[in-house]
Structure 1
Amino acid sequence: MTDLPGLDLDKLAAYLGKGPLTGELIPGGRSNLTYRVTDGQDRWVLRRPPLGHVLATAHDMTREHRVISALADTAVPVPHAELLCTDPDVLGAPFYLMEEVAGAALRDRAQCDWLTPADARVLSDRLVDVLADLHDVDPDSVGLADFGRPEGFLVRQVKRWGKQLDASRSRDLEGIDELRDKLGDRVPESARSTIVHGDYRLDNVLVTRDPLGISAVLDWEMATLGDPLADVGLLHVYWHGLGIDEDPITGTVPSLPGFPTAEDLVARYAARTGADVSNLGWYVAFGYFKLAVILEGIHYRYTTGKTVGAGFSQLGSFTLPLVRQGLHAIKEY
């Protein structure tokens, strides 16, 4: 394709000093825009912010580029970062290029007909182990000591996502302010601080078939330093979802034979890391709140004509079910 919203291939070619470029939008993303680009010989993946209504502190290309560069020599699989461009005159917004890595993001059942139940279990264990490996990385040792402010992380997260909600609020959302208030009133004490991915889930990693494994962790736009249980709670949300058929949160993949429960994932993480997960209910509730705010932001962009790609029209209908799940989780906690 040559006509891609958010990606001027002629300007990019001139910036890179390459010959004619072709590109395509990589489907599935709901926030930052991701494209596959080639000059006929080399192939790259380009990431840039969405079009319009970019929330403050979100969609930071510099942070994404920095963290995958820092993790290059760790046990966490990440693509090689090729370059970062902060000049908005090139594409209208900052962007970065990274290598294209083999593997597929598993977003729905149709992609998983090759997975046996035994494969599903191995893949699930690997997903948890990669997260544990990430949380085991010493930020100082990879140049990320100043990547975030761990002190008061959870309090700031509740406030931050509350502000993001207010910035995207275009309709009445029953219960969402109650959930925000309950989270703010019950913030637990963090036991430790690590590098946090911020959106860790099955379809944010690339899966290879032979050998079966995870070749790369993607979408680092919300990475920071903070409480690692925030990642675990959100993974629980993505795994359990809304508990309905054709669940858009899970893609229904974790309900296939062989995949363990969300509680099994948490148990493996606790066994691997020694983490105390007795307070995980709060983190799960926060995960539902955060995801509800993200979907509401996408809904807002969709209603103002600022989304690119398919699959956005129905996402706004899932905000309230997420809020209800979050209220249930915080009451259980």
Structure 2
Amino acid sequence: MKTYSFEHENETYTVSLDWLATRNMYVNEANNHIHTDQIWLTKDKRVCDYKNGYKEFKETGGTLKKKAYLDKVAFSEFSADWDTVIEFAKTNMRDQYNFQNEWVTTEDHLRLGMLAQSGHATAAYHIGCQFMKQNDDMAVSFLVNAHNYGHVGGLYRLSGYLAKKNNFDAAIACLVIAADYGNDIAIMSVSHWETMSYLIKASSEGINITNVLSDLATTSRYSTVRYLQLFEMLITNNKGSLNKLNDIISSPQNHPKKNDLSEAYSKRGSLVKAFFNDLKREITDNKGNLLKMSVMEYIDAYKKIASKDEFYLFSFKDFMELDSYFNP
């Protein structure tokens, strides 16, 4: 599994670079998603521990296939086959989560915490959001877990929190990764002026964002980090700006597997391409050459294009309002 690490307050957090499991799910299905490997089956063993046990079994000469091995272990410990054990565990977790909506008592909090530690993506997200409201950095750990379990909102919500903490490196990383691996709103947020202003504010405070952007660019050939690299190149009069712009227009978003391609993916790609085509017309002459523009003129060009209703670019505030509807 590919990963990316960022730091916050001297702690290192590692996030998955896999496509988010819930990205194409309906809300009810997504709210019940559980990352199977993290499920606690006993007090001291998760699903992943049993799977690792199979690796040790094979290394010591075992001949059973994986499913047969897991079935054998499951019958030995739980008197049922492996699939039945997993489905029972998931059903129990979903019943516990759906039974309660307010989570107000100490017992509620403990149960929610156990669900979050056992791979329940929305439980981890719920706790992370509550810590964020309290300005508590425990939010970072839970929202990272929510993302790693497959929740589409985990890193996007975390990006706004980290930006408010002036941790622009991590904020941009979380936003870009969310956008690249399944959060549609995040894609439309990367080009929002609020995000571009992070780069300017970081620069004014002597924070070098260039290395972070370069690192993120290595995670995916078609990463949305290119939008931010382009902005940085333009305001520093980098001669490669036009090539970067054309590269984005040619292939505006990260490529999922072919069986994950959808109409929504195509429409979003067309929208992003239209945004950058409009920007190109604004900053080039009739021969396609970059105009000589000041930093403020580039900023005004971005704001002009971004203000068009057809692009419906999201700010973090917009997302919070939308998210509160689904996660009151």
Interval containing the TM-score (normalised by the shorter chain)? under 0.3
TM-score scaled by structure 2? 0.26
TM-score scaled by structure 1? 0.25
Q: Would you tell me which structure has more helix in proportion to its own residues?
A: 2
